[in-house]
Amino acid sequence: MSDLAQLQKRLGYAFRDETLLQRALTHGSYLSLPGQSETRSNQRLEFLGDRVLGLAAAEWLFAERGEADEGDLTSAFHPLVRKEACAHIAEKMGLEPHLLTGAIETHGSKTRVSILGDACEAVLGAIYLDGGYDAARGVFERFWIPEADNLSYTEKDAIVILHEWALKRFRKAPDYITIGQTGEAHTPVFEVEVRISDIAPALGTGRSLKQARREAAEAFIKREKLRER
């Protein structure tokens, strides 16, 4: 593990339990390397950090946009918390040199984004466990808020498009149902259906629930030709 002191300085947070930070930087692929089968990956911290990030982003938007309605808040929320945004923040944090992975250099760009995004969420989860919500919110304010404009979509995310369309037509958000999971524990593949009213559902798959939901939304949009309306 490379020196973590400079990383903590960039984060603006000093860990009391540095093993939490080390775990946050350990991708599941690292466990497949010889002698690492007992090492703990960052998956649980990623799960927690995703929720911490969602709360911090929602809280900030709620205060920042006092006149915005639910639809506008949702549209502003997704760009802050999507995987690509977290990967961008991970680069700002300087996480990549500290990551423990299995041959990350052989992965494609999408996998790299996923690994960086997961690590970013895991670090936020680790900070929450080590220092509480205020500490985690402080890191959100340090990194996400200055980058908010840079995290906006060049093209609207499929989940946002479908959410806005469903609210407008049915006054109800889409339902995302997890219907299956395959693969090893550290490399799962999820299957998700998106359901809206009595319209035929659409299926998406991905290495995370977020990705599977986005793929399902994209499949629904393409089939129903929503971008053409």
The reply to whether 157 belongs to the active site is no
Q: Is residue 141 marked as binding? A: no
Contact 144, 58 (CB under 8 A): no
Instruction: Spot the catalytic one: 67, 121, 198, 218.
Output: 121
Instruction: Give the position of tokens 């399902």.
Output: 216
Q: Is residue 118 marked as binding? A: yes
Instruction: Spot the catalytic one: 50, 130, 215, 218.
Output: 50
The reply to whether 18 belongs to the active site is no
Q: Is residue 121 marked as binding? A: yes
Residue 189's beta-bridge partner residues? 182
Binding residues for Mg(2+): 46, 118, 121
- Residues with a catalytic annotation lie at 50, 121
